[in-house]
């Protein structure tokens, strides 16, 4: 308001506006600026690794992906319902891209989002435990409406790491949303979590009320690099 009041007053005087109209316009400007700052702060706090949105996502490249359902999720009702989402598929099929796009959509809806790779999340939890800060970190995670856990399955964890991740997933069950991406089919998650019992208990919670997307297909990265090689050859 401080930055704009003089300019708006001049404009209002020139346009012969009433004081109420001027005040309304000034207040609207302030409200819009605050909303935009708050959104930027939420996006920063989410700590996305890249900024990818649905406008740059080519749905025709992944015919197996249910586009209407994905765009439906971008409307955020699933987060209100404390449901989960899983994006499962081979590398390069756009899982991280869609996870970030869903995260951005949630930020725009005023949700608190936090993005981690599974490996970084486990490291964070293990470090916190070592420093007797685990409760604090768990509380921080608990305050997020949507926790994104990317790349589950590329690395397997120690027993203790797997247990910490299990604790986070189980804590969120029916209270907060979780989005997990993985290159592994559910039947292979035992490799990551070690122990049939823990894997079964975890999958049971995660997949109850879960939107599951299968994103298998050719790698987008691979396809793009083949395309550019072909173009170079034909040049
Ligand atoms: P994944 O996480 O499944 O391994 P990424 O989401 O990281 O794959 O995708 C790899 C790269 O290809 C990224 O730069 C991403 O933006 C791009 N990409 C993947 N799929 C698509 C798509 N369908 N349309 C546009 N870009 C895509
Ligand atoms: Mg990825």
Condensed to tens digits (0 to 9), the pLDDT of residues 125-175 reads 999 999 999 999 999 999 999 999 999 988 888 889 999 999 999 999 999
Distances, alpha carbon 41 to alpha carbons 6, 36, 45, 80, in Å: 28, 9, 6, 21
Residue 231 pLDDT more than 80? no
Instruction: List Cβ neighbours of 83 (8 Å cut-off, separation of 6 or more).
Output: 177, 209, 210, 211
CB 177 near ligand 1, within 6 Å: no
Query: Would you call 108 helix, strand, or coil by DSSP?
Result: helix
In this structure, what DSSP letter does residue 155 have? S
Pocket test for ligand 1, best of 59, 70, 97 (most atoms within 8 A of CB): 97
73 or 225, greater pLDDT? 73
Write down the pLDDT at residue 155.
Answer: 84
> What number does the ligand 1 atom closest to the CA of 56 have?
25
Question: In which order are the strands placed within the sheet that holds 210-214?
Answer: 113-117, 146-152, 177-182, 84-88, 210-214
Residue 65 alpha carbon, nearest atom of ligand 1:
23
Contact predicate 124/137, CB 8 Å:
yes
N-terminal to C-terminal alpha carbon distance within the chain: 57
β-pair type (84-88, 113-117)? unpaired
Q: Which of 92, 150, 225 to mutate to test the pocket of ligand 1 (most atoms within 8 A of CB)?
A: 92
Residues 6-53: tens digit of each pLDDT:
999 999 999 999 999 999 999 999 999 999 999 999 999 999 999 999
Quick one: pLDDT at residue 235? 58
Partners of residue 136 on adjacent β-strands: none
Q: Which pLDDT score, from 0 to 100, does residue 226 have?
A: 74
User: Can you tell me the distance from the alpha carbon of 24 to that of 17, in angstroms, rounded to the nearest whole number?
Assistant: 11
Q: In which band, very low, low, confident or very high, does the pLDDT at 233 lie, cut at 50, 70 and 90? A: low
* Ligand 1 pocket residue status of 58, Cβ below 6 Å: yes
Q: Is the CB of 61 under 6 A from ligand 1?
A: yes
Mean pLDDT along residues 53-74: 94
Ligand 2 centroid, distance to 104 Cα (angstroms): 16
Instruction: Name which residue sits closest to atom 20 of ligand 1, judged by CA.
Output: 94
Sheet strands (E) in the chain: 84-88, 113-117, 146-152, 177-182, 210-214
Residue-level pLDDT at 33? 95
Predicted TM-score (pTM) of the model is: 0.90
Q: How far apart are CA 14 and CA 19, in angstroms?
A: 12
Cβ neighbour number for residue 188 with a 10 Å cutoff = 12
* 150 within 8 A of 113, measured Cβ to Cβ: no
pLDDT of residue 34: 95
Is the Cβ atom of 211 under 6 angstroms away from ligand 1? no
Closest ligand, as measured to the CA of 119: 2
pLDDT digits (tens, 9 = 90+) for 89-131: 999 999 999 999 999 999 999 999 999 999 999 999 999 999 9
């Amino acid at each position: 308001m401080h930055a704009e009041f003089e300019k708006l007053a001049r404009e209002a005087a020139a346009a012969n506006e009433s004081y109420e109209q001027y005040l309304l316009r000034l207040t609207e400007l302030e409200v819009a600026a605050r909303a935009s700052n708050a959104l930027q702060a939420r996006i920063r706090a989410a700590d996305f690794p890249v900024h990818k949105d649905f406008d740059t996502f080519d749905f025709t490249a992944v015919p197996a992906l249910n586009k209407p359902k994905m765009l439906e999720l971008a409307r955020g009702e699933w987060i209100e319902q404390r449901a989960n989402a899983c994006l499962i598929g081979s590398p390069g099929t756009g899982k991280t891209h869609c996870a970030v796009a869903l995260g951005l959509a949630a930020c725009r809806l005023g949700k608190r989002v936090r993005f981690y790779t599974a490996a970084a999340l486990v490291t964070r939890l293990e470090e916190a435990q070592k420093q007797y800060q685990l409760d604090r970190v768990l509380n921080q995670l608990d305050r997020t409406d949507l926790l994104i856990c990317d790349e589950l399955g590329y690395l397997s964890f120690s027993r203790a790491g797997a247990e910490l991740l299990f604790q986070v997933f189980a804590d969120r069950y029916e209270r907060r949303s979780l989005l997990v991406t993985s290159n592994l089919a559910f039947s292979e998650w035992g490799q990551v979590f070690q122990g049939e019992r823990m894997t079964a208990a975890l999958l049971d919670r995660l997949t109850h009320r879960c939107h599951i997307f299968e994103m298998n297909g050719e790698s987008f990265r691979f396809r793009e690099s083949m395309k550019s090689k072909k173009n170079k050859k034909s040049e």
